[in-house]
Amino acid sequence: MDRYAELRSVARGLGVDAVALVPGPNFDRVMKKPFYTNERAFAVVIPAEGAPAAVVPKLEMRSWDLVGFEGQTFDYRDETGPRAAFASLAAHLPLARLAVEGQVMRVFVHHAFLTAYPGLDIVDGEDAVSALRLAKTEAELAVLDEAIRISEAALAETLADVRTGLTEKHVEKLLIHALFRNGAEENAFRPIVAAGDNSARPHASARADYSICAGDALLLDCGARWRGLNADITRTVFVGHATDEAHTVYAAVLAANRAGLGIARPGATAHAVDDAVMSVLEASPFADRIRTKTGHGLGREVHEAPYIMRGNHQVLRPGMVFTVEPGLYRIGGFGVRIEDDVLITPDSCRSLTSFPRELTIVGR
């Protein structure tokens, strides 16, 4: 079995001679071993036909040995830099067109290829390469389930400790501790802990100088990363009590969340899901508070295809996982977001997240 068969097919489909991978989600999935580089140039080149080849920092060769690479490796020392290794690669494996992962590869690697291959036509193959991991395997789903279990346990424990007078930063700390205490290996992303007017910012930063007040909305958006897969869940609660406005807004967001889960199934498009969710919000009295689309794919990256938005006519297929996270945000007021992680099943969909969605009052 050629573990590069799918990538070779992508190369042929894109009309390129080869696909280059750098460490990241696609690399992890294909190579089955974590591998690390940071400031050092690294790339694996998988041609449409024939043996792959790689440029690897000499420092990483012991780790690289564990990957069990089948092709030629050109290594280099920090003292001399990667230029000669890339030149050797170019002599070994001539290329005219190369597809790269535009969302993952950084410009210095791009430039290293261009220097070694003058006139090389580098195309952004991100969509085609990452499409290979759209349908999650059973093994990936089992790992994701655990990442979600960890995240939901952390969310529950954190909410149990919330009370007025705590700063957003303090609650952020409680949440991060709870994530790691429950088994997270990493944060999938820096959690969002946003109270009061900060909850109206979709990507707010926790403030050290804002203490939670009675009546505040409190939005928590977090996820554990576990064995390479990422959870992503948001709940918005109210502290002490909820105003009438809060109840009405919350009901609209929850109805939109339910609409997304009601329509997502194999054969539906990402557009249709967003349209169903947004239609609920647009028909509410709060249409002017819409700031975001419905959601994004979730897996080895926190944000990946399929992006659940109008205009994306990608058809949903079994095994795809994405967030449904409608929100309403009144600038200077408060925001509400309810985010679940949804799996497309053979005949419908299922929320992998099961944390209660009802309006919840905490801290009393």
Residues near a second copy (CB under 8 A): 34, 36, 38-39, 59-60, 62-63, 78-80, 100-108, 110-111, 122, 124, 126, 173, 176-177, 180-181, 183, 185-187, 190, 200-205, 291-293, 296, 302-304, 307, 309-311, 329, 331
Nearer to a second copy, 24 or 318 (CB): 24
How far CA 79 is from CA of 61, 82, 84, 236, 343, in Å, comes to 16, 9, 12, 52, 48
For residue 9, the Cα-to-chain-centroid distance in whole angstroms is 25
By C-beta, is 6 or 185 nearer to a second copy?
185
Nearer Cβ to a second copy, position 103 or 211?
103
* CA–CA distance, 301 with 232 (Å, rounded to integer): 10
Give the Cα separation of 315 and 135 in Å (integer): 12
CA-CA distances (angstroms) from residue 360 to 160, 242, 356?
11, 9, 9
| Identity of the amino acid at 216 | D
> Long-range CB contacts (< 8 A, 24+ apart) of 41-45?
41/82, 41/86, 41/108, 41/109, 41/112, 42/109, 43/105, 43/109, 43/112, 43/113, 44/20, 44/69, 44/71, 45/18, 45/19, 45/20, 45/89, 45/93, 45/95, 45/98
Structure tokens belonging to residue 261: 């889960």
- State which residue, 1 or 107, has the beta carbon closest to a second copy: 107
Smallest gap from Cβ 248 to a second copy, in A, equals 22
> What is the nearest approach in angstroms of a second copy to the Cβ of residue 20?
10
60/146 with CB nearer a second copy: 60
Of 133 and 296, CB closest to a second copy = 296
Q: How far is the CB of 62 from a second copy (least distance, A)?
A: 5
How far is residue 281's CA from residue 183's CA, in Å, rounded to a whole number?
36
Q: How far is the CB of 199 from a second copy (least distance, A)?
A: 11
Residue type, 28: D
**CB 221, min distance to a second copy, A:** 12
CB of 178 to a second copy, least distance (A): 10
* CB closer to a second copy, 26 vs 187: 187
CB of residue 47 to a second copy, shortest distance in Å: 19
